[in-house]
Every structure is written in structure tokens, then in C-alpha cells.
Amino acid sequence: MHDELSVRQTAIRLRLAGESVKSICRTLKRSEAWFHKWWRRYLESGPEGLYNLTRGNRQVVNRTPPHIERAVISIRRRLAARATPQTRYSKIGAAQIRAELEALGYSPLPGLRTIERIVARAGLSCPPLRLAPRIARNEYPGPQPRDSNHVHQVDVVGPRYLKGDSTRYYFLVCKDVFDQSIYMEFVDSRRMDVVMDFLVHAWQQLGLPEKVQFDNGREFCGFGHAARYLSRVIRLCLRLGVEPVFIPKGKPQRNGSVENFNGWFQPLLLSRPFRRPSDVRRELHRLMTAVNEQHVHAKLGGRTAAQHRRGKRLRKLPANFTIDGKKLPIAVGKVTFIRLVSAQGNVSILGQSFKVGKRLKFQYVKVTIYTKYRRLKVYHKGRIVKEFPYPLPTK
């Protein structure tokens, strides 16, 4: 099998390098029908299409000969065309190109910067935008992920509409900030009970995070006077041992990982004409598979999110998990709000205002409710600067 696989990979490499089909077949002593079969498999499925069953581990030497340049350019064009279901949601960057070169058996492999230079010389990349230096900012006390399931970010995208249908639809998105895993659903409501069901499904698939980050939408933190007693979404998180974290109001960039993903997937997904919600959900499954199992990430050592998660002991909700979302008591835990202190020295959470002092105006602080002690503590640069009682109901 390995000898035959090597012949197939050689055929693809020669074609990517510009050799004619006749020349390739003459060199490899194969028929043109044989070549076209495997070329079609490569175009449809990438390097994986060259395998019969499973793939063995292959080692490569880290050198870059000149002929690989033509292969890099051809792969980039193939991925950027998004002409097949396999490549519809492909990444097209240097890491993805290098992963495909490796899967095709190229040896030695070029480095990421080498691939970027090859693509740039071919005029296939946009020149980097040089931004002006930023003014020095205050320290932002947001959570910093260290591994899978340390921090998830959750967002609602919509409303969106289907052709001939006035129903408002929404995408619910949960993303692991560290390894870039995603879970998504396409729903016809953003009610709190729908969001709670979505969180259960997401954590059955991805596992429970240590912290989950939301914006301040009412579907997450509630609204009105009742919000101060903690919404059902917050109570669900506490019950499952997850700390909910709310970003500053009006600062969606603080949920940057999931917001960037939303900006990436919508033009690709919504460019297709969908007529039924089931069509969208079917395509959404393809998108999630591509992101989780095909996208490689330099931060993960050139592996996909699925590969990075293999062998890890992730705390997942069981498939048959259920919980009564209507009767959720407040469990022991923490609820955190990141806030920018106003000019008057106040911060606002859940419809309430707390005075922290004008000396902290325009500074970010972390406001944490400790449900066990019914206390609210305000932190600035890791130090407690204020503390208040925070009454909570007993049920």
C-alpha cells in the first residue's frame, strides 16, 4: 500500500509542478485513466483522497527545495477557489498549505514564512495592513486560556432570514478560545431557555469549560429588576461548576475570538441559497467538521483542534444529561463582570450601580459575586479595592 501511495503522491506532485499528464504516466508507467482517477480524488478530497483506508505516520526532513514553490502556489489556488465541499470552508494560510504538503508526502517541507513569501511573490495574498501604534491602554483583566476548555466564548448572531420565510433565525456559537474548537446551532429564537439547551448541547460535545464568556445580552444575564438575582443561564453555569464572565458593555471586541469567527463564517455560509432550516443545519454540520477536523493551527503545533484534544481528559456532560431549567437554585460559585469605571467612579452590573471611587475612573476592574458568602468584590490589577454585601434569594 505504501509503495502505491508513494506513486500516487508522486503523480500529484509532478502535476502540481507543471508536468504534463502524458509525461507523468510515461515516467510512472501508469495509464492516463489511473492518473485522472487519483487527480479527481485529490481535487475532491485533498491529500486524504489518495489513501485507500488509513494513513500511517510519516516523517519529513525540514528542508525546502526550489521546486516546491509551484506546488505551494497550486495548493493555495485550489484552497482559495473553494470549489468542492471538501474545500468550501478551508483555511488558505501557510499552516494549512504546509499541512497539505506534508499529507502529500513532500520532503523536505518549507517553513511557514517561506510559504508566505512564495504566496506573496505570486500575488495571491493581500499585503499586510500596517496599523498606527495604539495609545497605551489600561490593563484588561480578562481570562487568559492556557489549554482546551479553560475559556469558552458564546455569542448570538442574527437575526437572519431564509428566502421566502419571514421567521427570524439565529446562529448560536460556542468557541474554545485556546484550541479554536466550535459548536453551533441554527435556531428560531434567542429566548433564555433556547440558550440554556444550546449550552448543554455544546458542553456535551466540547466538554465543560472553567469559564464561559458572554456579552450583556438579556438572553444571558436577564433584564429588569429580576436580573440582580441571577438569570437562569447564570444559575445553569454555576450548577455545572462553570464561572460565567461578562465583558464590558458595548465592547464586543472583548469577545474577540468568537466575533472573529462570526465574521469569517457568515460570508462563506450565507452566500449559498438556503430555503429550509434543515438545509442550513446540514451545511452547519459540514462547517463544524471542517473547522474542528481540518483547520490546522500554528499555536497547536500544526495540528487541528480535534487532534489536539485527543488523549485529553475532558469533563463532558453525559449524552442523557437533563436539568430542570425552570427551577434552578443558586449554586456555590463565582459570577464575574469586567467593567470600565465611569467618570463618576461607578460601575454598573445587573441594573445596579456600585461606587468604586473616582481615582479608578476610565480603568478596567473585575467585579465578582461570591454566591456562597453573598459578597461582591471589586478587583483592580489583582487587588481588592472595594467590597459590598450582595443579597441573594435562598432558593
Do the domain assignments include residue 126?
no
pLDDT interval class at 55 (50, 70, 90):
very low
Q: Are residues 261 and 345 in the same domain?
A: yes
Q: Are residues 214 and 361 in the same domain?
A: yes
Domain that holds residue 191: 137-395
Q: Are residues 302 and 168 in the same domain?
A: yes
pLDDT of 306 reads: 95
Q: For residue 336, give every residue at least 6 positions away whose Cβ sits within 8 Å of its Cβ, in sequence order, or none.
A: 211, 243, 244, 245, 246, 366, 367, 368, 369
Q: Are residues 227 and 340 in the same domain?
A: yes
Q: Are residues 99 and 156 in the same domain?
A: no
CB 350 within 8 Å of CB 339: no
Q: Are residues 200 and 293 in the same domain?
A: yes
Q: Are residues 167 and 286 in the same domain?
A: yes
- pTM for the model stands at 0.73
Give the range among 47-61, 104-118, 239-253 with minimum mean pLDDT: 47-61
Q: Are residues 8 and 76 in the same domain?
A: yes
Do the domain assignments include residue 68?
yes
Q: Are residues 148 and 201 in the same domain?
A: yes
Q: Are residues 88 and 175 in the same domain?
A: no
Do the domain assignments include residue 202?
yes
pLDDT per residue as tens digits for the range 145-195 = 999 999 999 999 989 999 888 999 999 999 999 999 999 999 999 999 999
CB 79 within 8 Å of CB 93: no
Domain with residue 366: its CATH number is 3.30.420.10
**Mean per-residue pLDDT of the chain:** 88
Query: What's the domain count of the chain?
Result: 2
3-state helix, strand and coil shares in percent for the chain, rounded to the nearest 5: 40, 20, 40
CB 327 within 8 Å of CB 217: no
Do the domain assignments include residue 131?
no
Q: Are residues 293 and 166 in the same domain?
A: yes
Q: In this prediction, what percent of the chain has a pLDDT beyond 90?
A: 61
pLDDT interval class at 255 (50, 70, 90):
very high
